[in-house]
């Protein structure tokens, strides 16, 4: 038996296994772990040995010598590297579950609405072999909406847009079920790529992952600033032409220009969802507006840009980075009421 998984209480858990971040919610305790979905390996004689997981491993991304690999096992919301994902899940569960008992926990994990049966089975299998007694799956948009405090059990249409690292999921819910959902492979990662490509093209400069993250969270914006320039920041990278390190100033107008395409794709996904929604539910959404969740929802002025392009009222959820984990946790706490939202056996 997987002894580390043992605790005084059976400590059932909810896991948001995200492309960028993994969060673990323990029943009765709330969110107890929130770390980047990254695993660092040492490769020696062809054998992989885990060196670090989560926060510590993220610091190594882009800074590893040849013998060390830092891997993100999730891509576009699903497991891309099965073995590495399993290592990561095991590590996080072990970290949360320190005490000794004989009961294995029940674990609920959220999966993108568009995950295939094969992908779902892979996630369930990883959780079981990480030591769960029972593995349940919940659709991410439902978890996001619950976590954002939306009244999803009502017979009214609600729209939730979860903008994560790998994907943006747009969903219309009514009576605690999905009426419409669509996932596009556009999220924080795509925004990073767009910024990197922009700086390469316009400044002949190469920047690393930590710099791009800093740009997004410091002066990131989805809209052209009114003065045509906006706030500025200094960034460092490498000159592509001569390979020498250089420092430049970047402003919000440049960031908005770089992010035009991903922002546009998110706006279009919302419009397409609204058009595909049955008229009465669409009218509810016009009345009640749209809720944004996920880390991408924190991009500066994304709510304003979406409001302008779609004409809908847009809110950003409180604790948008935690919504999916909180919602999955609620599904665990109030299982009798939300039982049909959790799938234990497909
Ligand atoms: N202030 C911010 N502005 C813009 N982007 C941000 C901000 N804060 C976080 N992000 C981005 O949000 C993303 C992470 O969000 P989140 O944790 O919701 O994703 P995830 O759940 O891991 O991914 P997915 O749901 O696609 O599997 C990262 O790409 C990160 O750069
Ligand atoms: Mg997510």
Q: The domain spanning residue 208 has which CATH number?
A: 3.90.640.10
Tell which atom from ligand 1 comes closest to the C-alpha of 20: 22
3-state secondary structure of 333: helix
Beta bridge partners of 334: none
Nearest to 159 by CA among 142, 144, 171: 171
> Does residue 147 lie in a domain region?
no
Please check whether residues 23 and 95 belong to one and the same domain: yes
Query: Nearest ligand to the C-alpha of residue 300?
Result: 1
Distance of CA 127 to the CA centre of its chain: 18
Q: Place 7 in a pLDDT band, splitting at 50, 70 and 90.
A: very low
Determine the average pLDDT of the residues in 103-114: 89
| Residues with C-beta atoms within 5 A of ion ligand 2 | 18, 164, 324
Neighbours of 149 (CB within 10 A): 15
Q: Which ligand lies nearest the alpha carbon of 163?
A: 1
Range of the domain at 203: 188-260
Ligand nearest to the CA of 34: 1
Residue 326 CA to residue 223 CA, distance in Å, equals 30
Count of Cβ atoms closer than 10 Å to residue 225 Cβ? 17
8 A C-beta contact, residue 252 and residue 229: yes
- 151 CA from centroid of ligand 2 (Å): 20
CATH number at residue 9: 3.30.420.40
Which whole number is the average pLDDT over 331-346?
Answer: 85
pLDDT in tens, 18-66: 999 999 999 999 999 999 999 998 888 877 888 999 999 988 877 777 7
Average pLDDT rounded to a whole number, residues 327-333: 95
For residue 209, give the ligand nearest its CA: 1
Nearest atom within ligand 1 for CA of residue 294: 18
- Helix (H) or strand (E) run with residue 276 in it: helix 260-276
Q: What is the mean pLDDT of residues 86-92?
A: 90
185 pLDDT more than 70: yes
**127 and 48 assigned to the same domain:** no
Which of 296, 325, 328 has the most ligand 1 atoms within 8 A of CB, as the residue to mutate? 296
| Pick from 253, 246, 214: nearest CA to 231 | 253
- 102: confidence class by pLDDT, cuts 50, 70, 90: low
Q: How far is CA 31 from CA 265, 322, 325, 326, in A?
A: 31, 8, 7, 7
Is 192 found in the same domain as 133? Answer: no
Task: Kindly state whether residues 265 and 179 are assigned to the same domain.
Answer: yes
Q: For residue 149, is it within any domain?
A: no
Domain annotation covers residue 44? yes
What pLDDT score does 69 carry? 84
* Assigned domain for 148 exists: no
Neighbour tally for 178: CB within 10 Å? 16
Q: Is residue 55 part of a domain?
A: yes
Is residue 41 within 8 Å of residue 50, measured between CB atoms?
A: yes
Nearest CA to ligand 1 atom 1: 217
Question: 18 CA distance to ligand 2 centroid (A)?
Answer: 5
Same domain, 195 and 276: no
Q: Compare 337 and 327 and report the one with higher pLDDT.
A: 327
| 76: phi then psi, degrees, rounded to nearest 5 | 50, 40
- Is-contact 251 283, C-beta < 8 A? no
Beta-carbon neighbour count of residue 203 at 10 Å? 17
Tell me how many domains the chain contains: 4
Q: How far is the CA of 157 from the centre of ligand 1 (A)?
A: 26
211 with 127, same domain? Answer: no
- For the record, the structure tokens of 227 come out as 């003065």
Tokens 């497991």 locate to: 79
- At 251-300, the pLDDT tens digits run 999 999 999 999 999 999 999 999 999 999 999 999 999 999 999 999 99
Q: pLDDT tens, 192-202? A: 999 999 999 99
Closest ligand 1 atom to 191 CA: 29
pLDDT of 45: 80
Cβ count near 279 (within 10 Å): 8
CA of 167 to the centre of ligand 2 (A): 8
* The model's pTM: 0.93
Q: Quick one: what percent of the chain has pLDDT higher than 70?
A: 95
- The total of other beta-carbon atoms located within 10 Å of residue 66's CB is 6
Regarding whether 221 and 194 lie in a shared domain, the answer is: yes
Instruction: State the maximum Cα–Cα separation within the chain, in Å, rounded to a whole number.
Output: 63
* Residues 6+ away with beta carbon under 8 Å from 309: 267, 271
Each residue's pLDDT tens digit, 207-252 = 998 899 999 999 999 999 999 999 999 999 999 999 999 999 999 9
User: What backbone torsions phi and psi does residue 288 show, to the nearest 5 degrees?
Assistant: -100, -15
- The alpha carbon of 189 and the centre of ligand 2 are apart by a number of angstroms equal to 12
Lining ligand 1 with CB less than 6 A are 18-21, 77, 164-167, 187-189, 213, 216-217, 220, 294-296, 298-299, 321
CB 25 within 8 A of CB 32: yes
Regarding whether 165 and 45 lie in a shared domain, the answer is no
């Amino acid at each position: 038996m997987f002894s580390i998984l043992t605790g005084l209480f059976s400590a059932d858990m909810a896991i948001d296994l995200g492309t960028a971040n993994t969060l673990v919610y323990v029943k009765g305790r709330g969110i107890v772990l929130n770390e980047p979905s990254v695993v660092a390996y040492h490769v020696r004689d062809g054998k992989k040995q885990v060196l670090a997981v989560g926060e510590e491993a993220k610091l190594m991304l882009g800074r590893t010598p040849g013998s060390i690999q830092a891997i993100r096992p999730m891509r576009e919301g699903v497991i891309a590297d099965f073995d590495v994902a399993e290592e990561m899940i095991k590590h996080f569960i072990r970290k949360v579950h320190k005490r000794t008992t004989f009961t294995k926990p029940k674990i609920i994990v959220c999966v993108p609405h568009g995950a295939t049966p094969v992908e779902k089975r892979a996630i369930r299998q990883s959780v079981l072999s990480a030591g769960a007694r029972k593995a349940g799956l919940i659709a991410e948009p439902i978890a996001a909406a619950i976590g954002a405090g939306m009244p999803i059990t009502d017979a009214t249409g609600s729209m939730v847009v979860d903008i994560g690292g790998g994907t943006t999921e747009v969903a219309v819910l009514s009576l605690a079920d999905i009426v419409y959902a669509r996932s596009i492979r556009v999220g924080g990662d795509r925004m990073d790529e767009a910024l990197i490509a922009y700086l390469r093209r316009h400044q002949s400069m190469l920047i690393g992952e930590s710099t791009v993250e800093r740009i997004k969270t410091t002066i990131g914006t989805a809209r052209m600033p009114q003065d045509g320039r906006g706030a500025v920041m200094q960034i460092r990278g490498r000159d592509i032409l001569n390979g020498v390190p250089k420092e430049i100033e970047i402003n919000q107008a440049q960031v908005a220009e770089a992010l035009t395409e991903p922002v546009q794709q998110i706006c279009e996904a919302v419009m397409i969802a609204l058009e595909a929604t049955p008229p009465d539910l669409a009218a509810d959404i016009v009345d009640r507006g749209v809720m944004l969740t996920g880390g991408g929802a924190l991009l500066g002025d994304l709510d304003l840009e979406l409001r302008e392009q779609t004409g809908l009222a847009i809110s950003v959820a409180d604790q948008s980075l935690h919504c999916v984990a909180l919602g999955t946790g609620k599904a665990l706490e109030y299982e009798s009421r939300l039982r049909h939202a959790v799938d234990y056996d497909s």
